[in-house]
């Protein structure tokens, strides 16, 4: 079975089914969307065994913190909305109490008295004013914050400062390297448009963790992504930050891809395009409603997979025919 690369230490993960001893590894279902060593993920062995025996999804520390941050922002928004509703309710109660106090006797306030009390908060409209001249207090509706994903992208392949470097030195070096890549792709983007650069994963030195970059304008991100092909052959690559739904779809496709690799199909003939999986440019299946659905023609799928498996060098056990002495 082919080996995977740990997202944290970027070293190969040895499979337990191979002749070597093998290593424990786990798949992160979050934005990392990849495999990592059990030790690199910081999981004790008993917890790792429990996760293997359960159907629970695993999220690394970075992805968990990111989910907590999103939840905290949602809670903060809800608290603000509750405070606004309380203020409006208190104002309405004050208006009703004033109308009840103005009404003579202990009788319940009439509809006319309540309307009159509410009208005292607005100046009367003079006869010379028209309806279009009336000034109304606008009602502001709090709109949801725009998605942060359109302002971000991920850079792979930028060298990181060695272990022992000061944190501010690493941050400054990352910012300079990101600025170089951005200028190479679009020199019209000012350096102050780069709002944040964050390394993804655990720091261990002497390796290249991906960098999550945030720009001030979404149009700059689109420009960078449209010209990322210029980086081919440089060892540096750029990918967009995906939405939660896109991450879930990719996770499903990557798991199916791993099953195909385990069956003996070489990696370079397996391609992911959108929500579909291809082998030798023939579609194997697609993700529909967050479930992988095999191609409608099962016989074609199996014949493609079998032909690729049997044609791969590691499965070709037939002896080669002897070469002729004739020229």
pLDDT for res 325: 44
Q: What is the CATH number of domain 4-59?
A: 3.30.40.10
With cut-offs at 50, 70 and 90, classify the pLDDT of residue 181.
very high
Most confident of 124-133, 281-290, 303-312: 281-290
* pLDDT tens, residue by residue, 107-129: 555 555 555 555 554 455 454 54
Give the CA-trace dihedral at 214, 217, 218, 224, to 10 degrees: -70
DSSP letter (8 states) at residue 167: H
Per-residue tokens: 282: 């023939």
Identical topology for domains 4-59 and 148-240: no
pLDDT for res 91: 79
Nearest to 312 by CA among 252, 244, 242, 263: 263
Q: What is the CATH number of domain 148-240?
A: 3.30.70.1820
With cut-offs at 50, 70 and 90, classify the pLDDT of residue 321.
very low
pLDDT for res 81: 86
The residues spanned by each domain of the chain are 4-59, 148-240, 244-315
Q: Which DSSP string do the residues of 58-92 spell out, in sequence order?
A: ---HHHHHHHHHHHHHHHHHHHHHHHHHHHHHHHH
Cα separation, 219 vs 225, whole angstroms:
10
| Residue labelled with tokens 């023609």 | 297
């Amino acid at each position: 079975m082919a080996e995977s690369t740990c997202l944290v230490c970027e070293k190969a993960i040895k499979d337990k089914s191979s002749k070597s001893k093998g290593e424990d590894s786990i798949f992160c279902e979050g934005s990392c969307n990849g495999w990592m060593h059990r030790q690199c993920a910081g999981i004790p062995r008993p917890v790792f065994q429990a996760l293997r025996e359960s159907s629970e999804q695993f999220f690394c520390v970075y992805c968990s913190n990111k989910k907590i941050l999103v939840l905290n922002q949602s809670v903060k928004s809800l608290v603000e909305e509750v405070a606004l509703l309380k203020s409006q309710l208190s104002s309405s109660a004050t208006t009703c109490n004033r109308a009840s106090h103005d009404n003579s006797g202990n009788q319940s306030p009439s509809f006319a008295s309540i309307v009159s009390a509410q009208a005292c908060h607005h100046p009367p409209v003079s006869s010379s004013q028209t309806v279009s001249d009336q000034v109304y207090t606008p009602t502001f509706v709090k709109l949801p914050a725009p998605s942060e994903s359109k302002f971000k992208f991920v850079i792979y392949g930028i060298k990181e400062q060695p272990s022992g470097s000061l944190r501010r030195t690493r941050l400054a070096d990352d910012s300079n390297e990101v600025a170089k890549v951005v200028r190479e792709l679009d020199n019209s983007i000012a350096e102050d448009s780069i709002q944040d650069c964050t390394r993804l994963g655990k720091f261990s030195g002497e390796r290249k963790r991906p960098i999550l970059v945030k720009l001030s304008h979404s149009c700059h991100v689109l420009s960078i992504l449209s010209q990322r092909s210029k980086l081919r052959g440089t060892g540096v690559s750029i990918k967009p930050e995906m939405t939660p739904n896109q991450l879930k779809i990719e996770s499903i496709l990557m798991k199916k891809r791993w099953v195909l690799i385990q069956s003996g199909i070489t990696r370079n003939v397996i391609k992911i395009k959108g929500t579909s999986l291809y082998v030798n440019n023939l579609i194997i299946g697609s993700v529909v409603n967050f479930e992988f659905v095999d191609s409608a023609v099962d016989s074609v799928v199996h014949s493609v997979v079998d032909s690729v498996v049997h044609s791969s060098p590691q499965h070709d056990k037939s002896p080669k025919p002897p070469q002729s002495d004739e020229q």
